[in-house]
């Protein structure tokens, strides 16, 4: 029996539970904090991995390793953020990446 592939991109299905997928989708749907606008990268590694999780697509091990490294950099971003909105945005992004890495390695 062949494994079904995602209709969105043709990728293999991921290992993400519905709750994590929903939280990832909700994160991507929220507005970008004003403070981040000048530096926002719409195709960042974090956004790509969070989007893959929202679509329940498998993520390759190298990308998971990069996400794990990137999640460690968020403390500096959070500390440097001026607004509570941006601090929360970064903390949520970090927390999602940590969960995505854990789920992707199962």
94-106 pLDDT tens trace = 999 999 999 988 8
Mean pLDDT of 85-100: 95
Q: Is-contact 14 104, C-beta < 8 A?
A: yes
Could you give the C-alpha distances from 50 to 2, 19, 47, 54, 60, in angstroms and in order?
A: 26, 13, 5, 6, 13
Q: What percent of the chain has pLDDT over 90?
A: 69
- pLDDT 10s digits, 1-24: 333 323 334 456 778 999 999 999
C-alpha 28/C-alpha 38 separation (Å) is 18
Q: Hey, where are the domains in the chain?
A: 18-31+42-104
What is the per-residue pLDDT for 3? Answer: 31
């Amino acid at each position: 029996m062949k494994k079904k592939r995602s209709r969105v991109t043709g990728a293999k299905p991921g290992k993400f539970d519905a709750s994590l997928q929903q939280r990832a989708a909700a994160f991507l749907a929220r507005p970008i904090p004003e403070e981040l606008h000048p530096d926002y990268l719409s195709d960042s590694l974090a956004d790509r991995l969070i989007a893959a999780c929202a679509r329940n697509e498998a993520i390759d091990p190298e990308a998971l390793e990069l996400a794990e490294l990137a999640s460690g950099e968020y403390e500096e971003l959070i500390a440097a953020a001026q607004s509570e909105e941006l601090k929360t945005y970064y903390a949520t992004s970090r927390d999602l990446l940590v969960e995505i890495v854990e789920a992707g390695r199962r």
